[in-house]
Amino acid sequence: MSQVRLAGTGMTSFGSHPDRTGRDMFAEAGLAALEDAGVPAADVDELFYGNFVGTLSEEQGHQGPLMAEALGTTAPSRRVESACASSGVAVRDAVRAIRSGEADVVVAGGMERMTNMGTAGATKGLAGAADDLYEVRSGVTFPGAYALMARAYFDEYGGTHEDLAHIAVKNHDNALVNDHAHLQQEITVEEALGAPEIASPFTLYDACPISDGASALVLTSPAYAEEHDLEANVAITGAGHGGDTMALHDRQSLSRTPATREAAEAAYDDADIEPSDISLVEVHDCFTIAEVLALEALGLYSYGEAIGAARRGETRRDGDLPVNLSGGLKAKGHPVGATGAAQVAAVATLLDGTHPRADAVDDDATVGVAQNAGGTVASATVHVLEVIA
């Protein structure tokens, strides 16, 4: 186990920011992370930056050095693209760079600006994360794709739309005190069930919003943290990356996500933990069914058992396993390139007691997990975070 220290976090609010540029938002998040860490920009060895549709939404390529410049550095930089898992992969790359000994200080994060594209434009841009030849050209969008996965799950394991509604209600409730959240709005199960249908069985509240925003992390080697006396008491001790086929029709099952299972097994082995050691998780709930699929693929529930977890109260903030205390993508928002790093930041601040929902975390909790997925989980990352002495 190699303890890559998480020295600082930074984030913009997630929502609609029509008058802001991507570089402006990433500068806010990245500079906040550097300030939180107490690390000067001159010490940054590398930047790994997640972004998916920036070449469409802002007609701007070569964004790595642009974002490094926004942080006040000309350190080597790289734009990482893995659809909705872009900054999750960026974080994993940063962990590997530090573990290899090639870097002592790395900024990892991401940004997405999408609301300026409008609903139709953003939907078209996001569809690029699916298989163009076999899915996009047939009219499949992500609400439709995840609806197919939900229907397949119901057919195989049971469950109802009301089970999914409880997930939406839970995550909206968690977001109420999160000032960075896009949707600070309480909803009821009845409202979730009665909202306009977007793709059966989903209604509007089964889907995350289209969001703008940025997030950033400052990761360091243990030696750098100790030499500079940093308050870096949370470490990334495990990192995993998994993959699957792009098109749904090529998969053996639509009700399981082996990319997450593969990433989780690698991360758990890396950190030398078991699922039973985990006290809290942030999972990629772009649609309510995605939370269910993630919890099962992470080994926290047996297949077919997570569908009722929110309804039974097990994954609420007062339950045995709090899930998405930040509000998740569902209510916190989903600026695609920023999501993975934002999830890691949420787990870190929940563990160190600085998150607004940290009061829901047991005092003896030391292990949390962040799961980030790309597309219909054709790619996935899992990171294990631990409190260290």
- Give me Rg for the CA atoms of the chain: 19
Contacts of 187 (CB under 8 A, 6+ apart): 168, 169, 172, 205
Which of the residues 166, 182, 334, 355 is marked catalytic?
334
Question: What is the spatial distance between Cα 110 and Cα 335, in angstroms, rounded to a whole number?
Answer: 9
Task: List the structure tokens of 61.
Answer: 């390529």
213: β partners: 112
Task: List the structure tokens of 188.
Answer: 């009821």
Which of the residues 17, 84, 172, 208 is marked catalytic?
84
Strands (E), the chain: 4-11, 46-50, 77-80, 105-112, 197-199, 202-203, 213-220, 234-243, 280-282, 367-374, 379-387
Residues 238 and 92: beta-carbon distance below 8 Å: no
Strands (E), 67-222: 77-80, 105-112, 197-199, 202-203, 213-220
334 is annotated as an active-site residue: yes
Pairing status of strand 202-203 against strand 197-199:
antiparallel
Contacts of 369 (CB under 8 A, 6+ apart): 264, 267, 278, 280, 281, 282, 298, 347, 382, 383, 384, 385
Angle at 329 between CA 324 and CA 332, to 5 degrees: 80
Residues 288 and 252: beta-carbon distance below 8 Å: no
Burial class (CB in 10 A: 0-12, 13-18, 19+), 24: middle
Residues 339 and 208: beta-carbon distance below 8 Å: no
84 is annotated as an active-site residue: yes
Angle at 224 between CA 221 and CA 225, to 5 degrees: 85
Report, as residue numbers or ranges, the catalytic residues. 84, 334
